[in-house]
Amino acid sequence: MNILILSHKPPYPIVDGGCHAMDRFLRDALRAFPEANFNYLSTATEKHDFDENKIPEELKKRATFYHVKISTKLNPISALVQVFKNRSYHMSRFKQSAILNKLQSITGEKKIDLVFFESLFCSAYSKEIKLQTSASQILRAHNVEHLIWSKLATNTKNPLKKWYLNHVSKTLKTFETRFVKEVDFIFSIAQADQEFFKSLNHNTSYLPVSMEVTSAREIISDSICFLGAYNWMPNKEGILWFTNEVWPEIVLNNPATTLNIAGSFSEEISELKNKDSIKLHGFVPSSEAFMKAHGLFVAPILSGSGVKMKVLEAMSHGVPCVLSTHAAEGLNLPEIIPVCANKETFIEQVSLLLRNQDLCKQIGKAGQEFILKNYNSVAVSEKITKLLRK
């Protein structure tokens, strides 16, 4: 069996939650089909470059990795043209001849049996692939893409920005709805997104992303952290809301506490530079080490769609979490893990945990047990095998 996976960015190095989710799927698929030949084609852009040295050695032996260098820089004129044509500019940036040429080369050399699209943006080549191969096409949906932009528009006060975000959401929804109807099968990594996909295509199933549980460390008091990629708008929106609305009250009552913010482009958040009690770490080589070094993980996400990978990762490391309602959406978490509907609850729960180390340990343990029960790799691999062979 020959399997082709297409992604709109390289999975390695793992610089954000999307890369982490792609890495986990590749490992689970390799476990599910050990005899298959895996081919992985990704685009490399200004934001996400390809570095062969970052691919784990054990995966190089199991899969063939390809990449195509393209530019996805925003072009105001092109964006305006797409607005007047009522088309998705976001999708058009990923539709480039160099990628199509590489696809034709791969499918010309090998008889592809299954094609996986990692996210909506690489699905722009669905029609061309159908002309080149009879392979079944499967969308691995990380989220419902148009809902991210719709919720961002709702939370935006600037009228011009609100109009543009609503336009992005509308055009993405048109493309997303059409593609979801045409694809052979859908793997949704978030239970909360299933209702949308099932309304358009009955051939869909919830397939969680797997997580490996690690050994927990002693909780460090007076240290709070958040980790994410800040070129993803919901992360930046969430951390700015937290630092403006929640953090002043927390640090007022807990003056020795520090907020540690890390991840790609975190050092570029100008609104947070040179602020007392806030440290910007930039990209960190090990998200596990960062989370374990800073005690309490907060996820103040206000918009977006799909499962929040950093939340699952923090729980897998035994790090106690305090989550917004949106960050916990669709997870069916144990009651002991705090979920906050507003800033008052966030302030109350974070302040409580800063004073109660025993409760922190209980929440960290409950998170790990939740991951072991619902996101273990063996169960996910078995479900992949079952669904695809069916």
Of 148, 189, 221, 169, nearest in space to 311 by CA: 189
pLDDT value at residue 48? 80
Give me the DSSP letters along 162-205. Answer: HHHHHHHHHHHHHHHHHHHHHSSEEEES-GGGHHHHHHH-SSEE
Fold of 2-210+376-389: Rossmann fold (3.40.50)
pLDDT value at residue 77? 60
**3-class SS shares of the chain: helix, strand, coil, % to 5:** 50, 15, 35
The secondary structure element, H or E, covering residue 299 is strand 296-299
Answer for the pair 40, 62: CB distance below 8 angstroms, yes or no: no
**Measured between alpha carbons, how far is 159 from 54 in angstroms, rounded to an integer?**
42
Residue ranges of the chain whose pLDDT lies below 50: none
Q: Can you give the pTM of this predicted structure? A: 0.83
Which residue's entry shows tokens 């374990």? 292
Answer for the pair 247, 259: CB distance below 8 angstroms, yes or no: yes
Residues of each domain in the chain carrying CATH 3.40.50.2000: 2-210+376-389, 223-374
Q: What is the pLDDT of residues 69-127, one digit of tens each?
A: 987 676 666 656 566 656 665 666 667 788 889 999 998 889 999 999 998 888 888 88
Answer for the pair 118, 4: CB distance below 8 angstroms, yes or no: no
The CA distances from residue 320 to 2, 256, 293, 350, in Å, are 42, 19, 12, 10
pLDDT value at residue 86? 63
pLDDT value at residue 186? 93
Q: What is the pLDDT of residues 132-162, one digit of tens each?
A: 899 999 999 988 888 877 888 888 888 888 8
pLDDT value at residue 82? 61
- To the question of domain 223-374 being in CATH 3.40.50.2000, the answer is yes
